[in-house]
Each structure stands twice: as structure tokens, then as C-alpha cells.
Amino acid sequence: MKIGILGRKVGMTQIFDETRAVVPVTVVAAGPCVVLQKKSPSTDGYHAVQVGLVEKVGRRAITKPQAGHLKKAGAGSVRAIRELRGEFPDLVPGNTITVDLFKDIQVVEVIGTSKGKGFQGVVRRHHFRGGRATHGSMFHRAPGSIGASSDPSRVFKGTKMGGQMGSGRVTVKNLRLVQVDAERGLLLIRGAVPGPRGGLLTIHGIR
């Protein structure tokens, strides 16, 4: 059965495994989450559940339509709302999702928004080699030619050029879930996950 939860990235640290080897892990403060809505093909065209991360929110941060939506599901203070695609037969609006569901999970999938790097050139954004740095060369970090002249008389879509880097949706699959701390609501995931400290993450697992 597929399960999912929302959380915030706390940061990275390291722990020791059974063989006393150092394991780098990312600490995620996951949940509690409340189920706000359940979607089905008959009403919405697809299977999904809408969940909200329970966090303290100011009264003015929630609009009247949002307040009515939360009240209908019996939810209180919710800051972030996301959809988890798939069938979740055991979940109904009003249910609470905690890290306890991940106790038997070994591999997870993490979705987040990568750190924004601003406008970057082709060397940093696409790892271009660049030109020579000696003998009076004036071609160091430039992209070079981006197309032909009269034919096709245009630049093809998808040509690698400078532009906005980062700040996009990133999915990392097959990450090992090292430890579940149910008392503090923490998930320890081996390796790095996308986003800055405090960034919103969606964690999927299959039981």
C-alpha cells in the first residue's frame, strides 16, 4: 500500500550504523498531517488524497474559502496543502497521518523544491568546458554558437544557454530510510534531499 506524508527539512547530520560506519542522513520533521479531501475518478477523474501539514498559522493567513475547506474536514491550523496521487483505501477526511506509518518502510521517494541559484551562465548551469584561458583568448565562459545562419534561421528549442538555475521541483527516488523517531516525529533519510533548511518536502513510501 502506498503511503505519504509532508514534512520540513531540518538539516543534515551523521549517525553510526550496526557496523560502526558513519552514515550521512537528512533529518526531516514529518507530520502530523490531516486528510482534507479524498478524490476519486467518479468525481474528479483520478485517485488522490489532499493532505495538510499541521502547523501554527496566523488567523489572517487563512482566507475564508480555505477556512471553510478546513472546517469541513474537521482540521485546525494547516499551513501547507498537497495532493498525494494514488489510491489510499484506509484514509478518509479527518484522519491524521504520522511517522508511525513509516516504521516498516525501507525505501522512500522525496519531492521538494531545489535551492534557487538565480541567473547563471552555461559553465555553471550546464557544465560547459569554456574556452582557453591563455594566449590572449577572449573566449572564456561564453556559450559559443547557438545555431546555424540561413538554415534553419532560428535557434532550436531546448538549446543549452544561460538562465534561471534551481528553484524547481525535484524528485529523488530510492532513498534509504535509516531511522524513524516516532516520539519527536522525525525521519532520518540517508543522503541529501532537495531544498533548503525549512523547505517543504513530500515523502512517499510503499508498505
CATH 2.40.30.10 fits 2-134+162-206, yes or no: yes
Q: Please state the domain extents for the chain.
A: 2-134+162-206
Supply φ then ψ for residue 65, to 5 degrees. -60, -40
Taking alpha carbons only, the member of 40, 34, 97, 32 closest to residue 70 is: 34
Q: How much is the pLDDT for 79?
A: 81
Contact 48, 84 (CB under 8 A): yes
CA of residue 155 relative to chain centroid, distance: 33
Q: CA 198 to CA 9: how far, in whole Å?
A: 5
Contacts for 118 with CB less than 8 Å, ≥ 6 apart: 164, 165, 166
Q: What DSSP character marks residue 59?
A: G
Per-residue pLDDT of the chain (207 residues; tens, 9 = 90+): 678 899 999 999 999 988 889 999 999 999 799 998 888 898 889 999 999 888 887 777 788 888 887 888 777 778 888 998 888 888 888 888 899 989 888 999 999 999 999 999 999 999 999 999 999 999 999 998 898 888 888 999 999 999 999 999 999 999 999 999 988 999 999 999 999 999 999 999 877
Q: Where are the alpha helices (DSSP H) in 49-184?
A: 64-72, 122-126
Residue 142: what pLDDT?
92
- What is the side-by-side order of every strand in the sheet holding 33-39? 78-85, 48-54, 33-39, 96-97
Q: How far is CA 84 from CA 4, 7, 81, in A?
A: 7, 13, 10
**Closest of 110, 197, 196, 116 to residue 164, by C-alpha:** 116
